[in-house]
Amino acid sequence: MQTTDEDVSPIEVLIAKLQKCRSREVDLPSEFHKEITSSTGNANGNTNAIANADADAPNVFQIVVNFLHHQLDDEKHTEEQVKNVIDIFPQALSMLDYNSNYDADCFPIQSAACYFASDGRSAISFIPLLAYEGSRINANGREVSRGGLFYEIPYGEEGESESSITFLVEGFDNNSNHDDRRKYDSKCTRILKKLRNLNLLQKDDIQEHFLLAHALNVGCEQRFNYLARWDPDALRDTSFEDGKFLLHASLEKAEPRECFGFVLKAGMQHFSNHFGFLFRELHGQTACEAAFDVFGKDDTMTMIRQCIPAMDENNHHHSLILNYVARHCPHLMKDMVNCYQPNVSQKDPQTGLYPFMLAASFDTCDLSSVYLLLHHNPRLLNGGCKSSCNLHKMEERQGRS
């Protein structure tokens, strides 16, 4: 007579699992195997021995939970070993345990996301495996959170919450040096790519879960750039709860120079026609002016020149920075023209107008900007007739429309 699943008692299922662990049929982490073997003593296939095990010995599932929560180490354990543990004890993915970093109970995938483990180990490389296996077996009915990847754990006294994906995107070691931060950043970026390949991380998640805002952090430049390349529109559309855009918000970070620099570079990569949103206003103040307040004008302009060279053979928009300022924020012309003098004679390809002509036209007419621009290259007046005709024609077309 064939035995069905209904005929097998839970204790017999446990015995079968223990026999599999003890027999070395599968590759398991050595310390995990040792603890399992030690805790069950001589109870090999003996139901009564399992049932009457030493009360002081750790419970089998306590060992499994402790391993997944507090012992995973991506420098010691292989993915195959961890998967074997999960295959034998899949229910462990749904088991909560207290994590002092969160000051809350969490699932193994959240424990793995803690980049600041007090014992110095790192388990973040196992996040894709934990998420994939959790999603595959629908651990604890959390299919909507993709194996717990987006499952948020409340912590703190102000109703805050974090998920594994946000920890992965924003995490860094505040005590490490620059090289260590860069290595950790590379490691996290590789994990994001793996999650994407497994379809556990999707493009819509970037804006839905404000991932660029989380990646706006010291030591997170590679992750920020990876997400920005995947969804460039997030650079334009992401804002914080207080309404601040990414470039404005970068100035409030722990290391604002680093954050302001990589946000502006990313903006120039994908929105060079808007100059990386350097001149976008928030409450009447451009990001450029906000940076003046934080770094001073000289340092700010040095950083801007590093991100926006006066001339760039690969990007013609760079050479039109004074044209843009003349049209949209002429009050900044004095600061800009001192650093971008070669650009004074650059014609706008659409209108054929020099910056001084744009400063003198439309609703943004600013005579002080006109004077500044001509002061740096008065010879432009000699060749301005043809361009002036273009201006009149353009104004006529606008009038007709």
How many CB atoms lie under 10 A from the CB of residue 269? 16
Asked if 278 contacts 286 with a C-beta cutoff of 8 angstroms, the reply is: yes
Asked if 142 contacts 148 with a C-beta cutoff of 8 angstroms, the reply is: yes
Which residue in this structure is represented by tokens 């948020």?
A: 152
Asked if 111 contacts 57 with a C-beta cutoff of 8 angstroms, the reply is: no
pLDDT digit string, tens, across residues 334-382:
899 888 988 888 888 888 888 888 888 766 667 787 778 887 777 777 6
Asked if 131 contacts 109 with a C-beta cutoff of 8 angstroms, the reply is: yes
User: What mean pLDDT is predicted for residues 32-58?
Assistant: 58
Q: How far apart are CA 364 and CA 331, in angstroms?
A: 10
Q: How far apart are CA 336 and CA 289, in angstroms?
A: 12
Asked if 359 contacts 388 with a C-beta cutoff of 8 angstroms, the reply is: no
What is the predicted pLDDT for the residue at 48? Answer: 47
Report which of 188, 193, 182, 232 is spatially closest to residue 212, judged by C-alpha positions: 232
Non-local (6+) Cβ contacts of 342 within 8 A are 310, 311
DSSP one-letter string for 43-74: -SS-HHHHHT--TTSPPHHHHHHHIIIII--T
What is the predicted pLDDT for the residue at 50? Answer: 43
pLDDT digit string, tens, across residues 266-298:
999 999 999 999 999 999 999 999 999 999 999
Residue 40: band (very low, low, confident or very high) from pLDDT cuts 50, 70, 90? low
Report which of 65, 160, 78 is spatially closest to residue 109, judged by C-alpha positions: 65
Please report how many Cα atoms fall inside a 13 Å half-sphere around the Cα of residue 40, on the Cβ side.
27
146: left (phi over 0), alpha (psi -120 to 50) or beta: left
Q: How far apart are CA 295 and CA 79, in angstroms?
A: 46
Q: How far apart are CA 106 and CA 85, in angstroms?
A: 19
What is the predicted pLDDT for the residue at 392? Answer: 47
Q: How far apart are CA 233 and CA 351, in angstroms?
A: 27
pLDDT digit string, tens, across residues 204-230:
999 999 999 999 999 999 999 999 999
Tokens describing residue 104: 């809350």
Asked if 36 contacts 4 with a C-beta cutoff of 8 angstroms, the reply is: no
Report which of 233, 319, 222 is spatially closest to residue 277, judged by C-alpha positions: 233
Asked if 313 contacts 273 with a C-beta cutoff of 8 angstroms, the reply is: no
In whole angstroms, how large is the CA radius of gyration of the chain?
30
What is the predicted pLDDT for the residue at 237? Answer: 96
Note the helical H segments in 114-177.
127-136, 164-170
Secondary structure class of 281 (helix, strand, coil):
strand
pLDDT digit string, tens, across residues 85-122:
998 888 889 888 887 777 778 889 989 987 555 556 78
How many CB atoms lie under 10 A from the CB of residue 25? 10
Give whole-number Cα distances, 158 to 25, 154, 365, in Å.
49, 9, 49
